[in-house]
Amino acid sequence: MINYRLKRGLKHIVIWVFIMFAIFPIIWALSAALNPSNTLMGQRLIPENASLKNFVALFNNKQHPFPIWIWNSVKISLIVSLITVILTSLAAYPFSRFRFKGRRQGLFIILLVQIFPQMLAMVAIYLLFLNIQNYIPILSINTHMAVIVIYLGGAVGINTWLLKGYFDTISRSLEEAAQIDGATRFQAYYKIILPLAKPILAALFVIQFINTYNEYVLASIMLNSSDKFTLAVGLQMFISENYGQRWGVFSAAALLGAIPITVLFLVVQDYLVTGLTGGAVKE
């Protein structure tokens, strides 16, 4: 009995240590955001004369339009995530269900391309869009559409592999039964397969949203005006110079910037919990 209680007590200690390790940065950022001195050197865990001064200053700063940055990030991330889910599901389904010439080679090429990060080609990407804008103005430098297209180019490949693996676990008998009842192949796909794949589609959406929302390098290269900046690019302006005197405002912006991702997690948490174990008959 003593050994059981000791082991249980040690488990609780370990759990709380990890919890504190995870939430301490949030507590420290909140402390900085509530510190009216707005400096790094004067920060304490429990700030004196705590106030919302930094939050008010964040929204009153015309030079740094924080609400626009958040909206730009959310808009771009939602569009990229939604299109990624649609394209990857359409690409993964044939690789999972059909047997055609070049199938294995196609999967290998997709994986091979993903080995090289987009950042390695950022100069080439910039020059490419610099020329494309002469023919397709909507894809000009300093446009969100150009950034969205770039993100989509790097998102479809590896996610196709991920989704293909999940489709493989769904029994083919479900589609065959639907086709016997008169459903077309496409009807079986979006009425049978997609509903069963909701957990992985939700997980894929969340992962892609977070990756796009937090991406900085490519966005900083393609966007050059303050009203076009994403949140990651905009926040860099607070710490580019004299960040020690902008620490409170920067922390306030970081905390508010985490709200969209938190809300997204709360909305799809049921799918994420059941996650990759969801589905129907498994093969």
Out of 85-94, 192-201, 242-251, least confident range? 242-251
So what CATH class is 61-277? mainly alpha
Out of 43-47, 171-175, 191-195, least confident range? 43-47
Question: Distance between CA 124 and CA 41 in Å, rounded?
Answer: 42
Mean pLDDT of 137-152: 90
Residue 240: per-residue pLDDT: 67
Distance between the two ends of the chain, CA-based, in angstroms? 43
Share of the chain above pLDDT 70, in %: 90
The owner of tokens 């001064």 is: 53
Give the pLDDT confidence of 226-274 residue by residue, as tens digits: 889 999 998 887 776 665 567 788 888 889 999 999 898 888 877 776 6
Residue 171: per-residue pLDDT: 82
Residue 49, phi-psi category: left (phi > 0), alpha (psi -120 to 50), beta (remainder): left
Residue 38: per-residue pLDDT: 64
**246, two tokens:** 């902008």
Question: Distance between CA 65 and CA 174 in Å, rounded?
Answer: 51
Q: What is the mean pLDDT of the chain?
A: 82
Confidence grade of residue 189 (pLDDT, cut at 50, 70, 90): confident
Question: Distance between CA 228 and CA 72 in Å, rounded?
Answer: 7
Residue 148: per-residue pLDDT: 93
Nearest to 116 by CA among 75, 157, 72: 157
Residue 40: per-residue pLDDT: 64
Mean pLDDT of 109-119: 73
Q: What b/e readout covers 108-147, taking b as 16+ CB neighbours within 10 angstroms? A: eebeeebeeebeebbeebeeebeebbeeeeebeeebbebb
Whether the pLDDT of residue 280 is over 50: the answer is no
- CATH 1.10.3720.10-classified regions of the chain: 61-277
Residue 199: per-residue pLDDT: 85
User: Which secondary structure element, helix H or strand E, spans residue 29, and what is its range?
Assistant: helix 2-33
Mean pLDDT of 52-64: 82
